[in-house]
Amino acid sequence: MRYKPLTQEELEKRIKLLKEIGINPEKKDKNISKYPQLLTVPSKNLHDGIKFFLELRFSKKTIYKLIRKHSRIVLCSPKIFQKSIDYFSNLGIDSKEINKMIIDAPSVISYSPKALQDRIGFFYDFGLNHQELKSMIIKNSNILIYSPKALQKRIDYLSKLGIDNKKIRTIIKKKPDILLSNQDSLQKRVDFFSSFGMKLENIKKMIKNDPSVLLRSPRKFQTIIDYLIKIGIKNKKISRIIRRYPTILGFDSKSLQKRVDFLTGLGFSSAEIPTIIEFDGSVLCYSLESLEQRLLYLKTFKEINLLKCILYNPMLLTNTLESTQSKLNFFIETFYEGVEPIVFRYPKLLNLSIEENLKPSYDFFTKELGYPHDRVLRNLSLLTCSLNRMQQCCNILKNSGFNIRDLSIPQKRKIIKSVKPLNLEKIINKLNLSGKEYSLKEVFSNLYICF
């Protein structure tokens, strides 16, 4: 739109007004060079625009920041802004939250209520409820800049990755920024992981677990990968670490180095640190404060070889203190107070669930196999064996008419350590077909002849 040129007197007043909010045209402020309308629009328009934001309790400094983000913001009619603000108010968004939205995405109040309704209606149709939508647009008002058509293209791309609508809704609620990237940008990130040797299925799983990986640049990904290679992580292990702990990609190399320095400070050699990270990459994702807190707790157990325990099970540094203490309490209640040093000989025990692993395994050995209480204590590593596999083997033997208590110690040991249910079932079926009676000894001797 062309305006009547300002007189010299009007121009001087304009410059004075702009200087009051921090813009100095005489210094060739980039906002002036980019939007010369600031020096040509009628004084009333500019004055009304600035006055409108001052009435919203924006400071002059904040108004200046708004103009730097979106120079046209003070050139539009305040009537348009007020309609948009009224629309947001009717959604239950208070004035403080609306001001935050304006600061984050100034152009959001330049849309008509109908345009805003189209965008918000899109998210309602996609399954977000009012509270979720309200929270999302307050957190990231930039999302309202895009038309429903543009938003749908991004959602279609996520669907092509095999992510269903339910999961996409969850992703949008947690990381609405993902809809600010176009399909080409999203594809570049996926292509990067593919070029690094990750299978598409694994990439999909990673995105589902941590959608924020689609918000970071491939250049940043490469920086992190280069760092991991530098400290001695094997290439084939890096893919697995990133897949399991994509949060690592959100750090920079300096942050990761601090965590490596923490491990070095404990006394681990440069050769041992890759082993620790390859076993549990999440050690690079925790804050130094969290790692220090866990270390102090572990140091209270004077009798244990701390470095050896951590090297054998780095998850001691990443499991919560409550989790570790609850496992130790289980062993104290099951055996006796002071059993902790014995437990720490098998630190991987502290990774297992009490209800799903430790207690059922203990019951299996004492009640099913008839192991004495003391024998389990002497070999706590028994509790780390696959309970599901052992139970399947025992059920196969029971269904064939055998009493599990009749198993010899060597046979029990084989059940515990190596026998595969499928192989055991094949041997029993083969012996059944012979039509002859057979003993446990024949079952196990045939098992190791055939397999």
Q: Are 280 and 315 in contact (CB under 8 A)?
A: yes
pTM for the whole thing? 0.70
Alpha-carbon dihedral 156, 161, 166, 172, rounded to 10 degrees:
-70
Dihedral sign for Cα 214, 216, 218, 224, please.
negative
Residues 10, 40: Cα–Cα separation, whole Å: 10
To 10 degrees, what angle do helices 183-195 and 148-160 make?
20
Helix, strand or coil for residue 416? helix
Residues 216, 220: Cα–Cα separation, whole Å: 7
**Tens of pLDDT along the chain (451 residues)?**
555 666 777 767 777 777 776 666 656 555 555 555 566 666 666 777 778 888 888 887 787 777 777 766 666 678 888 898 999 999 999 989 998 898 888 888 888 899 999 999 999 998 889 999 998 899 888 899 889 999 999 899 888 887 888 888 888 888 888 888 888 888 888 898 888 788 888 888 888 778 888 888 888 889 999 999 999 998 889 988 998 999 898 899 999 999 999 999 999 999 999 999 999 999 999 999 999 999 999 999 988 899 999 999 999 999 999 999 999 999 999 998 888 999 999 999 999 999 999 999 999 999 988 899 899 998 898 999 999 999 999 999 999 888 888 888 888 888 888 888 998 888 888 888 887 888 888 888 877 655 4
Predicted confidence at residue 451, as pLDDT, reads: 43
For residue 372, count CB atoms less than 10 angstroms from its CB and return exposed for 0-12, middle for 13-18, buried for 19 or more: exposed
For residue 171, count CB atoms less than 10 angstroms from its CB and return exposed for 0-12, middle for 13-18, buried for 19 or more: buried
What does the block give as tokens for 99? 């001001």
**For residue 246, what is the DSSP state?**
G
Residue among 202, 247, 266, 257 at smallest CA distance from 226: 257
The C-alpha R_g of the chain, in whole angstroms, comes to 33
Predicted confidence at residue 43, as pLDDT, reads: 64
Residue among 20, 23, 63, 61 at smallest CA distance from 39: 23
Residues 105, 101: Cα–Cα separation, whole Å: 6
Residues 157, 163: Cα–Cα separation, whole Å: 9
Q: Which residues contact 398 (CB under 8 A, 6 or more apart)?
A: 404
Place of tokens 């002849």: 449
Instruction: Give how far Cα 47 sits from Cα of 13, 20, 98, Å.
Output: 11, 12, 22
Residues 299, 322: Cα–Cα separation, whole Å: 16
Residues 25, 198: Cα–Cα separation, whole Å: 53
For residue 371, count CB atoms less than 10 angstroms from its CB and return exposed for 0-12, middle for 13-18, buried for 19 or more: buried
Residues 158, 210: Cα–Cα separation, whole Å: 13
Q: Which residues contact 94 (CB under 8 A, 6 or more apart)?
A: none
Residues 121, 107: Cα–Cα separation, whole Å: 19
Distance of CA 386 to the CA centre of its chain: 28
For residue 9, count CB atoms less than 10 angstroms from its CB and return exposed for 0-12, middle for 13-18, buried for 19 or more: exposed
Residues 79, 178: Cα–Cα separation, whole Å: 32
For 391-426, give one letter per residue: b (16+ CB within 10 A) or e. Answer: bbbbebbeebebebeebeeebbebbbeebebebbee
Residues 167, 186: Cα–Cα separation, whole Å: 17
- What is the domain partition of the chain in residue ranges? 146-215, 217-285
Q: How many other CB atoms are found less than 10 A from the CB of residue 288? A: 12
How many residues make up the chain in this entry? 451
